[in-house]
Homo-oligomer: A and B are copies of this chain.
Amino acid sequence: MSCLATLKENGFKITPQRKLIADFFHDAESHLTAEEIIAHVHEKMPGVNKSTIYRNLDIFEHLGCVLKSESGDRVIYHHTEEGHHHHLVCVKCGKSMDCDEMLFRPVEKTLRDKYNFRVDFKHQVISGLCENCYKQP
């Protein structure tokens, strides 16, 4: 369902700023960084305040339209229609690829069984080395 429809359903108003953000997520093939979103909005509508953008990203997140993942200094936003998965980001070349959401199931099980600790790993951003960068020292 469209992000804008979800906003309306939940009693939020449709503003031009929100339209810009929602459209950008619908057009995006993959995840977006806060920087990219702010740049896009400013391009189409200069003068929009960053706090407006961050507040609306939070709203979209709470409505379940968008997912926010963070790892260290990386923050990534996702349109939820993309499905669930983790992100492998190469620390050398910056290339990013998606990976199966089941990846951490064995770890979750170990933590539950051995440590009585419950974790649900979702949209993890994992930093490492891709094949090319690993080969080339």
Interface majority SS on A: helix, strand, loop or mixed?
A: mixed
Contacts of A107 in B (CB 8 A): 103-104, 106-107
Smallest CB gap from A108: residue in B: B128
Contact indicator A115/B99 (Cβ below 8 Å): yes
A96 to chain B, nearest CB (A): 11
A97 CB–B CB distance under 8 Å: yes
Contacts of A88 in B (CB 8 A): 111, 115, 117, 119
Contacts of A120 in B (CB 8 A): 128
**Given A71-B71, A104-B107, A118 and B99 touching (CB < 8 A)?**
no
A9 CB–B CB distance under 8 Å: no
* A72 to B122 Cα, complex, angstroms: 13
A127 CB–B CB distance under 8 Å: yes
* A128 to B72 Cα, complex, angstroms: 17
Q: Other CB < 8 Å A-B pairs besides A103-B110, A104-B107, A106-B106, 11 of them?
A: A70-B71, A71-B72, A88-B111, A88-B117, A99-B111, A99-B115, A107-B107, A116-B134, A117-B128, A118-B134, A119-B128
